[in-house]
Structure 1
């Protein structure tokens, strides 16, 4: 994994996730032929087998396109769970994986700050409060619901997810929708540290937090550093 200094050295690399591309980990068939197929071929590896069985069950039950857990991540052995709101277009219709290595700006921001914090990909498992893309145009408009309603519908799946993550000692809730979905679900964290940070999306990343007056990117970096300190210490 690259260090914090490396994020500046990849600015001329094509793609929306230049750090992942520079590491040889980018998931994009047009830029790295075979990258997605090779990663998908690993979705039944032991550390993600039960998690991806859950993803496939959610897809069947909900009638939605649910991306898989990334086998490059730590899966069931990861000490840190990163929870966002719902999958991106890239995850839902591109790689079909929820991954720090996806070719979108949100994934780049998350991957960069995790890397800077010392959170290797294998130290994290990334998922969403709503496991399907809420705005998926493949779903008839009349059947789509907003994030709040979708999070309510997805609560049982979130509870089941935590049962499959025995090594997770830290949960990072990224963005207000993930935070609200978690709070409304009434989840017992089971002794896990629950941290809150801004969403790493391009729009949120450039904004300033109203409560503190600090840039969201600083708060994101700080929270992920805390997650590394707590999660990695507990996994030793």
Structure 2
């Protein structure tokens, strides 16, 4: 399914599960990163949490993760086009939500591209997420901003390069990532995205 976070009952159910064993350590990490001045969304328990073999990394939390106007969580079931496309790509790759855990190179909600200084500051949080996931086998970096941020963070946190997992890079799941006047280039981007997600699914299934 897609966009289940539009359903208040689904949102409540996810909120009530934030302290289940597979997600509680991530919930605790997020609580430690929150302050009165800086907010970041929880990771929805529908995902694999610390047991996931895959992590998806985007740039920063989008508007539909915000508290009040959105779900308050990172989730492929959020009520937006990018999340819906992620669900489609997941299904095509033979993946289900529990196979992966979503995160962001800059986890705090700013709804814009973070600066390099902000990315450097966020690097320990990214490394902490990796440390919490002992079964991690593949990290999917979606979009140029997330990829560049990962590279900056990896200079500070070597674990991001030597963590025993594969890092794959592809285009963001948003429609904006496909905007080009060249139809052949657009087709190439679509094909690259599908193939990269499929490769991630293959790695996950290898165990």
TM-score normalised according to structure 1 size: 0.78
Which of 140, 164, 171 does residue 191 from structure 1 map onto? 164
Partner SS for 2:46: coil
1:80 to 23, 46, 54: 54
Structure 1 residue 133: deviation in Å? 2.1
Q: 1:194 to 1:184 in 2, by over 3 A?
A: same
Would the alpha carbon gap of residues 174 and 208 (structure 1) be closer, same or farther in structure 2, given more than 3 Å must change? farther
Instruction: Decide which of 137, 140, 153 is 2:121's aligned counterpart.
Output: 153
What residue is the counterpart of 2:2 in the other structure? 20
Matched, 1:135 2:117: no
Q: Please give the secondary structure, in 2, of the residue aligned with 1:127.
A: strand
Tell me if 1:218 matches 2:191: yes
- 1:118-141 residue CA offsets vs partner (Å, 9 max, x unmatched): 0111111111111122238xxxxx
TM-score for both structures, normalised by structure 2: 0.88
Residue pair 1:206, 1:215 contacting (<8 A) in 2 also: no
Measure the CA separation in 1 of the matches of 2:181 and 2:42: 32
Match for 2:17 among 38, 42, 62?
A: 42
CA contact (8 A) 2:60 2:111 kept: no
Corresponding pairs, count: 199
In the alignment, which residue of structure 2 is the partner of 1:142? Answer: none
Question: How far apart are the structure 2 equivalents of 1:20 and 1:197?
Answer: 22
Aligned with 1:20: secondary structure?
A: coil
Given the alignment of the two structures, is residue 112 of structure 1 paired with residue 88 of structure 2, yes or no?
yes
Q: Following TM superposition, where does structure 1 have runs of at least 4 consecutive aligned residues deviating by more than 3 angstroms?
A: 145-149, 205-209, 212-215
Per-residue CA deviations over 1:1-58 (Å, capped at 9, x if unaligned) read xxxxxxxxxxxxxxxxxx415xxxx001xxx232211111111110010011111111
1:169-209: per-residue Cα shift (whole Å, max 9, x none)? Answer: 00000111111111111233322111001111221144489
1:172 aligned onto 2:133: no
Aligned to 2:26: 51
> Does the C-alpha gap of structure 1 residues 148 and 108 become closer, same or farther in structure 2, counting only changes over 3 Å?
farther
Return 5+ residue gaps in structure 2 as ranges.
155-159
8 Å contact kept, 1:207–1:216? no
